[in-house]
């Protein structure tokens, strides 16, 4: 190691707290990105493996709506048309008494070889599967799932609807991918699945392996209402639902790294300032500017490399905490997903390391450049540095103003480009926060001018000290403002969303009781309530009105493209509870007409008047979209039809949910009566209050991931402020020592140091108000509408605004305690003066 390198590292080892803060800043920033990317990749991989277990090697699916296909049609395909390989499948969701939901996959073991033969490659697995698929009310599940349920081989699995089923096979010895693919699934024979799902004589689909000519020939000869779909159509449609959600989370995770980069810049800049005299002496002795620059970049690279490695380790641990939260959110909002193992993607870890290391080098480039270009004769003149900082501040302010205008213009113009909207949000955040040093300087001067000429000496010293330290504290103020403004913007957005949701629930939940399936995935799949129960509820003397609803998945085509998958809700007329935000307010939904939720219209960019072709068992049904209504139930959107028009078009008399209005105060009495009926097993009956509370709880769970990422950014910014203020006070030890010699007492010296640090934190907190509110307005007005299709009312949360300055004060106080841990030795501090 060269003499230059040894001298630089010796300085770092003399200030280990500065080195530690730098490492932690990079590590926490990288950890946020790695954790989120690992959690998202784990969910995507779990979804992909789960879909692979459903599709196997099939190229096409033959389906016929919610009612399914008759078994006789499968026989006809194999015997009369000779379509082999082909395999029947019965699929649905089953609720256990433990509250868990499992996907039931019924297969024919004699026909499964070409499709899912990989499950049976192992002899032991083959024997276990054979046992499970040849006994009544017997299923196969993985050994890991059995352990979670607390059952052994041939143990009883209690289900909500019917007698317990038998765990006839606990699949072990599977490959890791196979075991993860079967997570949350029960495998059984077709006859068992038909019994459990009440689909006797019916099939969910027929899987086929066809060439393109064979598929075209079969499609042309299918009966009315039958559809031949590519096997990946459903999985592709479902995965597209969560793409915007994942993109927003990835963008938010970058926030912590952005703040970490500002922290690295501030630390390297401070190290350069501390060693200006030493670097000038080296230049006089013959060390070139290029060698100085290379050594500074080497320091930053070393800090970034070790911080990135530590961040990857922290990210893996954090991903294990994020994965259950993310999985629960996907289950609540999009589709059923069971993932318990974190997938350690090498690409995610490499990406985190490169981002952390690259961000550190990029942040150190400007200080290294300045150190290399500064003439040795100017190094000893502190005034030149402060003059340079004033020039830097002027340029930064102009650049920030231009960036702010450009970012806002991009938000206005990038209507259908979500990625550009997120880039504009980052620009808006950084540009508005970069105005902080100029705002602080103006506020400091205004405060100094408002003070009387005589007295208030300590306060004047405090205000002047902050102004003189802007060259060292400017970047830390920007970093802290970025993090605090992110707190304000996200919190105000969530608060606005929460109040909008509560207002929407108050309008839409007009009934006293709601009856539906306890298994929400089964309800989304179209599984209905017992018809006798629906009629019995209507005949109860306490019931004043009953609103029936039917939810079912439906494929549709638009202008010849498709098929696409969405949800269709058919209900009795009740348009008064809807708020229409697109198109005219309709008085009723007529035949051949449909309403669309706002997310559906915005995400598919469909105007009112668009005609869609819905696939029904009786053939294509064309509907015209006549209006769009506000809805927060799903960010993927859905269609709404009149129930009677739906029944005529789809020939489906089923009902998946009831809204019951009772006479007087008899809601609990009616609820208890319904739950006493024998055919109410597997149902849930919720009051309006309970359903509203459940909706708000799901909403709060959805934003737990967001709050965790928000916390990471605050931690990084806190570390940055802590390091910057502590480093600034360390550099100014001689100045404090001089004031002590001039008569400043220890208590006054402490108040001076704390006041300067507190002002920095306070100014950052106050500057975060306009920055955060501007970002919150953009998120509520632009980002949410374009990413998820939701129109929100902007609501201000005053408690968040009051809290942010106190966070800045807290970080500043900790910095003073850190820098003030050494004893006060004025003589030593002034030794070189």
| pLDDT tens per residue across span 770-783 | 988 998 898 888 88
Token digits for 550? 């039917």
Q: pLDDT per residue over 541-590, tens digit each?
A: 898 989 999 988 888 888 877 778 888 999 988 888 888 988 888 988 98
Do the beta carbons of residue 598 and residue 784 sit within 8 Å? no
Per-residue pLDDT of 495-538, as tens digits, reads 888 888 888 888 888 889 999 887 666 666 667 788 888 899 99
Mean pLDDT of 303-318: 88
As a dihedral over the C-alpha atoms of residue 599, residue 602, residue 606, residue 612, rounded to 10 degrees, the angle is: -20
Structure-model confidence comparison of residues 823 and 346, the more confident one: 346
Chain length of the chain: 833
Mean pLDDT computed over 703-731? 68
**Whole-number pLDDT of residue 12:** 67
What's residue 623's pLDDT?
Answer: 93
With cut-offs at 50, 70 and 90, classify the pLDDT of residue 419: confident
Q: How confident is the model at residue 627 (pLDDT cuts 50, 70, 90)?
A: very high
Instruction: Tell whether the model's pLDDT for residue 89 goes beyond 80.
Output: yes
pLDDT for the residue 624 = 93
Instruction: Please tell me the predicted confidence (pLDDT) of residue 327.
Output: 77
Q: Which two tokens stand for residue 577?
A: 């509870």
Confidence of residue 21 (pLDDT cuts 50, 70, 90): confident
The predicted pLDDT at position 205 comes to 86
Does the structure show a pLDDT above 70 at 30?
A: yes
Q: What is the model's pLDDT at position 595? A: 94
Peptide bond into 563 cis (omega under 30): yes
Over range 61-75, report the average pLDDT. 82
Torsion of Cα atoms, 421 then 426 then 428 then 431, to 10°: -150
Please give the Cα distance from 364 to 366 (Å, whole number): 6
341 pLDDT above the threshold of 60: yes
- When pLDDT is averaged across residues 336-365 and rounded to a whole number, the result is 79
How much is the pLDDT for 379?
A: 56
Predicted confidence (pLDDT) per residue in 388-414, tens digit: 566 677 788 888 899 999 999 988 887
- Identify whether 85 is preceded by a cis peptide bond (ω within 30 of 0): yes
> How does pLDDT run across 231-277, given as a tens digit for each residue?
776 666 566 656 666 666 666 666 666 666 666 666 666 666 666 66
Between 34 and 279, where is the model more confident? 34
Kindly tell me if the per-residue pLDDT of 80 is higher than 80: no
Phi/psi of residue 18, each to 5°?
-65, -40
Quick one: pLDDT band at residue 426, thresholds 50, 70, 90?
confident
Predicted local distance difference test score (pLDDT) of residue 548? 92
For residue range 116-140, list pLDDT tens digits in order: 655 555 555 556 667 677 778 888 8
Whole-Å CA distances, 596 to 581, 601, 647: 11, 7, 18
Q: How large is the average pLDDT for residues 424-432?
A: 85
Q: Rounded mean pLDDT of the chain? A: 78
In this predicted structure, what is the pLDDT of residue 574?
82
- For 736-770, write each residue's pLDDT tens digit: 777 777 777 777 777 777 777 778 778 888 888 89
Higher-pLDDT residue of 812 and 524 is: 812
Q: In 3D, which of 563, 549, 551 has the Cα closest to residue 521?
A: 551
On the question of pLDDT at 58 being above 80, the answer is no
The confidence score (pLDDT) of residue 757 equals 76
Q: Give the pLDDT of residue 5.
A: 67
What is the pLDDT, as a whole number, of residue 146? 85
Does residue 381 surpass a pLDDT of 60? no
Q: Which of 33-37, 38-42, 256-260, 397-401 has the highest mean pLDDT?
A: 397-401
Distance CA 597, CA 790 (A): 9
What is residue 163's three-state secondary structure?
coil
Return the pLDDT at 625.
94
Other CB atoms within 10 A of residue 391 CB: 10
Rounded distance between C-alpha atoms, residue 378 and residue 385, angstroms = 9
The confidence score (pLDDT) of residue 701 equals 75
Give the pLDDT band (50/70/90) at residue 210: confident
pLDDT of 346 over the 60 cut:
yes
Give strand pairing partners of 594.
625
Element (H, E) at 202: strand 202-203
Radius of gyration of the chain (CA): 33
Other C-beta atoms within 10 Å of 125: how many? 20
Identify the pLDDT of residue 271: 65
Residue 596: the pLDDT is 93
Q: How many percent of the chain have pLDDT more than 90?
A: 5
Mean pLDDT of 645-661: 88
CA–CA separation, 44 and 381 (whole Å) = 58
Q: Please say whether the beta carbons of 485 and 772 come within 8 A.
A: yes
CA distances from 40 to 283, 780, 789 (A): 50, 24, 22
Q: What is the pLDDT of residues 434-458, one digit of tens each?
A: 888 888 888 877 877 777 776 677 7
List residues bridging with 170 in a β-sheet. Answer: 141
Alpha helices in 342-469 (DSSP H): 346-373, 382-413, 418-434, 436-450, 457-468
């Amino acid at each position: 190691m060269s003499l230059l390198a040894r001298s630089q590292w010796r300085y770092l080892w003399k200030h280990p707290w500065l080195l530690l803060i730098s490492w932690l800043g990079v590590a926490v920033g990288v950890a946020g990105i790695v954790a989120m990317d690992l959690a998202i990749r784990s969910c995507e991989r779990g979804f992909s493996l789960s879909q692979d277990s459903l599709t196997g090697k099939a190229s096409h699916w033959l389906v016929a709506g919610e009612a399914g296909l008759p078994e006789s049609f499968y026989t006809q395909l194999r015997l009369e048309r000779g379509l082999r390989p082909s395999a029947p499948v019965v699929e649905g969701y089953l609720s256990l008494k433990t509250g868990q939901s499992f996907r039931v996959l019924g297969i024919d073991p004699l026909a499964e070889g070409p499709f899912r033969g990989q499950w049976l490659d192992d002899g032991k697995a083959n024997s276990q599967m054979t046992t499970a698929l040849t006994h009544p009310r017997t299923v196969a599940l993985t050994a890991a799932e059995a352990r979670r349920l607390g059952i052994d081989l041939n143990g009883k699995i209690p289900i909500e609807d019917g007698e317990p089923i038998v765990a006839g096979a606990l699949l072990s010895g599977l490959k890791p991918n196979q075991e993860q693919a079967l997570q949350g699934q029960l495998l059984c024979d077709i006859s068992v699945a038909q019994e459990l799902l009440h689909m006797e004589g019916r099939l969910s689909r027929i899987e086929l392996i066809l060439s393109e000519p064979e598929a075209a020939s079969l499609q042309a000869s299918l009966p009315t209402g039958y559809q031949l779909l590519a096997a990946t159509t459903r999985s592709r449609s479902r995965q597209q639902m969560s793409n915007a959600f994942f993109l927003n989370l990835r963008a938010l995770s970058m926030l912590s790294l952005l703040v970490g980069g500002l922290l690295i810049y501030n630390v390297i800049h401070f190290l350069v300032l501390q060693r200006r005299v030493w670097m000038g002496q080296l230049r006089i002795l013959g060390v070139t500017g290029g060698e100085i620059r290379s050594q500074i970049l080497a320091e930053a690279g070393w800090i970034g490399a070790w911080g990135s490695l530590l961040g990857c380790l922290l990210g893996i641990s954090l991903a294990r905490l994020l994965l259950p939260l993310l999985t629960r959110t996907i289950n609540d909002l999009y589709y059923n997903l069971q993932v318990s193992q974190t997938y350690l993607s090498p690409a995610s870890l490499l990406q985190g390391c490169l981002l952390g290391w690259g961000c550190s080098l990029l942040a150190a480039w400007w200080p290294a450049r300045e150190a290399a270009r500064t003439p040795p004769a100017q190094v000893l003149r502190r005034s030149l540095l402060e003059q340079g900082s004033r020039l830097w501040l002027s340029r930064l302010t102009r650049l920030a103003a231009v960036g702010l205008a450009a970012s806002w213009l991009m938000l206005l113009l990038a209507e259908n480009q979500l990625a550009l909207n997120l880039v504009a949000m980052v620009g808006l955040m950084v540009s508005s926060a970069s105005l902080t040093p100029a705002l602080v300087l103006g506020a400091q001067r205004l405060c100094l001018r408002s003070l009387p000429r005589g007295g208030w000496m300590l306060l004047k010293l405090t205000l002047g000290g902050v102004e003189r330290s802007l060259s060292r504290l400017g970047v830390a103020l920007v970093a802290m403002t970025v993090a605090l403004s992110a707190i304000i913007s996200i919190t105000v957005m969530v608060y606005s969303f929460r109040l909008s949701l509560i207002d929407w629930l108050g309008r839409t939940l007009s009934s006293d009781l709601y009856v539906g399936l306890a298994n929400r995935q089964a309800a989304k799949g179209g599984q209905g309530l017992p018809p006798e129960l629906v009629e019995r509820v209507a005949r109860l003397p306490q019931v004043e009105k009953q609103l029936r609803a039917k939810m079912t998945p439906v494929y549709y085509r638009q202008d010849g493209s498709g098929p696409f998958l969405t949800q269709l809700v058919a209900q009795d007329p009740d348009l008064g509870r809807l708020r229409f935000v697109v198109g005219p307010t309709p008085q009723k939904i007529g035949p051949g007409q449909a309403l669309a939720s706002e997310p559906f219209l915005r995400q598919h960019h469909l105007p009112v008047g668009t005609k869609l072709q819905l696939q029904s068992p009786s053939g294509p049904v064309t509907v015209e979209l006549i209006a769009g209504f506000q809805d927060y139930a799903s960010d993927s959107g859905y269609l709404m039809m009149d129930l009677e028009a739906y029944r005529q078009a789809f020939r489906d008399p089923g009902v998946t949910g009831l809204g019951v209005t009772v006479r007087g105060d008899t809601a609990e009495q009616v609820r208890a009566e319904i739950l006493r009926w024998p055919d109410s097993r597997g149902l849930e009956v919720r009051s309006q209050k309970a359903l509203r509370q459940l909706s708000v709880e799901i909403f709060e769970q959805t934003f737990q991931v967001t709050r965790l990422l928000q916390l990471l950014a605050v931690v990084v910014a806190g570390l940055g402020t802590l390091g910057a203020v502590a480093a600034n006070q360390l550099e100014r030890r001689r100045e404090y020592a001089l004031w002590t010699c001039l008569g400043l007492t220890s208590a006054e010296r402490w108040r001076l140091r704390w006041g300067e640090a507190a002002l920095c934190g306070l100014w950052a907190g106050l500057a975060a108000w306009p920055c955060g509110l501007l970002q919150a307005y953009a998120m509520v007005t632009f980002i949410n509408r374009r990413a998820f299709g939701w129109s929100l009312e902007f609501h201000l949360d005053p408690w968040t605004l009051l809290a942010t300055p106190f966070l800045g004060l807290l970080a500043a106080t900790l910095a003073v305690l850190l820098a003030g841990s050494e004893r006060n030795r004025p003589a030593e501090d002034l030794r070189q003066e």
